[in-house]
């Protein structure tokens, strides 16, 4: 799966399933407080320097579809879709 495919998904369960597949391939997803969104672990070095990442648009879309905009909504999405399955 390519990350860009996430932009085409509009259903929360589709995105959650895609996250599970990407996690099986070794990707890590986390909630980033200052951005108020889900991020890829590979984004963190850029976010620490307040730099743009190549994944920002995709992860903003993912966060929006999953309803993630705070730590609380992230935890709710995690409970619903088991985003931290590993």
Give residue-wise pLDDT tens across range 5-56: 999 999 999 999 999 999 999 999 999 999 999 999 999 999 999 999 999 9
Which helix (DSSP H) or strand (DSSP E) does residue 10 occupy?
none
- Would the pTM count as exceeding 0.85? yes
pLDDT in the model for residue 71: 95
Q: What are phi and psi of 40, to 5 degrees?
A: -85, 145
**31: alpha, beta or left, given left = phi > 0 and alpha = psi -120 to 50?**
beta
Measured distance CA(79)–CA(81) in Å, rounded? 6
């Amino acid at each position: 799966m390519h990350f860009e495919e996430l932009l085409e998904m509009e259903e929360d369960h589709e995105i959650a399933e895609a996250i599970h597949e990407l996690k099986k391939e070794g990707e890590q997803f986390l909630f980033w407080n200052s951005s108020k969104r889900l991020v890829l672990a590979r984004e963190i070095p850029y976010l620490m320097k307040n730099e743009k990442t190549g994944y920002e648009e995709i992860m903003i879309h993912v966060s929006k579809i999953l309803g993630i905009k705070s730590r609380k909504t992230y935890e709710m999405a995690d409970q619903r879709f088991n985003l931290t399955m590993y």
